């Protein structure tokens, strides 16, 4: 079932047009689906999957609306705006918008050590250690997955999710 859902998601997102708000809507949908395709240490996720967003209010708003009342593996999903200085160990995912890319290096190191999946949208950041990086190619939203970042952390990514991504090391 998860394979079908993720495959359909990639197909649909691969055929969108870049009208205002559509890219952000699909990024939010991907992030929600990423939670379903990853496994964190039991100590990381008690009863809530906590996602935080920095530098992209449109993605934050779309994600907040999308996850309202939804659960993954029987656990609630909570979305907040990230306040720099807050320990990343409190979150399963941090989405770092392009406008805050200057904070990447410090956040990347902390993300790996705290098993927080860092998702970015800046060209080249997957190669620099972002777990996942969004990119748009020929009007299609795609994502790169850095296997080294996952291997260094305690987060496991599903084979299905890997098969839908462009893998970088």
Average pLDDT, integer, range 30-52: 92
CA neighbor of 118 nearest in space, from 145, 137, 142: 145
Q: Rounded to an integer, what distance in angstroms lies between the CA atom of residue 88 and that of residue 118?
A: 10
**Residue 112 scores a pLDDT above 80:** yes
pLDDT of residue 4: 55
**Residue 9 scores a pLDDT above 60:** no
Angle at 117 between CA 119 and CA 148, to 5 degrees: 95
Non-local (6+) Cβ contacts of 75 within 8 A are 45, 47, 48, 49
pLDDT of residue 16: 46
pLDDT in tens, 117-164: 999 999 999 999 999 999 988 888 999 999 999 999 999 999 999 999
Residue boundaries of the structural domains of the chain: 2-168
Q: Which residue has the tokens 């992030």?
A: 31
**Residue 10 scores a pLDDT above 60:** no
Q: List, in sequence order, every residue forming a beta bridge with 136; answer none if it has no partner.
A: 141
- For the domain spanning 2-168, the CATH number is 3.40.50
10 Å Cβ neighbour count for 130?
Answer: 26
Q: Could you tell me what percent of the chain has a pLDDT over 70? A: 88
Non-local (6+) Cβ contacts of 121 within 8 A are 27, 56, 96, 97, 98, 133, 134, 135
pLDDT in tens, 62-90: 999 999 999 999 999 999 999 999 999 99
């Amino acid at each position: 079932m998860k394979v079908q859902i993720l495959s359909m998601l990639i197909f649909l997102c691969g055929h969108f047009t870049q009208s205002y708000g559509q890219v952000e809507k699909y990024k939010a949908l991907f992030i929600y689906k990423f939670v379903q395709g990853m496994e964190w240490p039991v100590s990381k996720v008690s009863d809530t999957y906590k996602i935080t967003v920095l530098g992209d209010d449109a993605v934050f708003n779309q994600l907040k609306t999308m996850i309202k009342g939804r659960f993954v593996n029987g656990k609630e999903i909570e979305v907040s705006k990230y306040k720099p200085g807050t320990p990343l160990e409190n979150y399963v995912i941090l989405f770092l918008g392009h406008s805050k890319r200057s904070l990447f290096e410090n956040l990347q190191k902390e993300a790996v050590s705290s098993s927080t999946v860092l998702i970015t949208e800046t060209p080249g950041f997957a190669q620099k250690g972002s777990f996942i990086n969004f990119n748009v190619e020929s009007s299609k939203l795609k994502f790169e997955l850095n296997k080294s970042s996952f291997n260094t952390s305690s987060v496991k990514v599903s084979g299905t999710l890997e098969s839908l991504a462009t893998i970088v090391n």
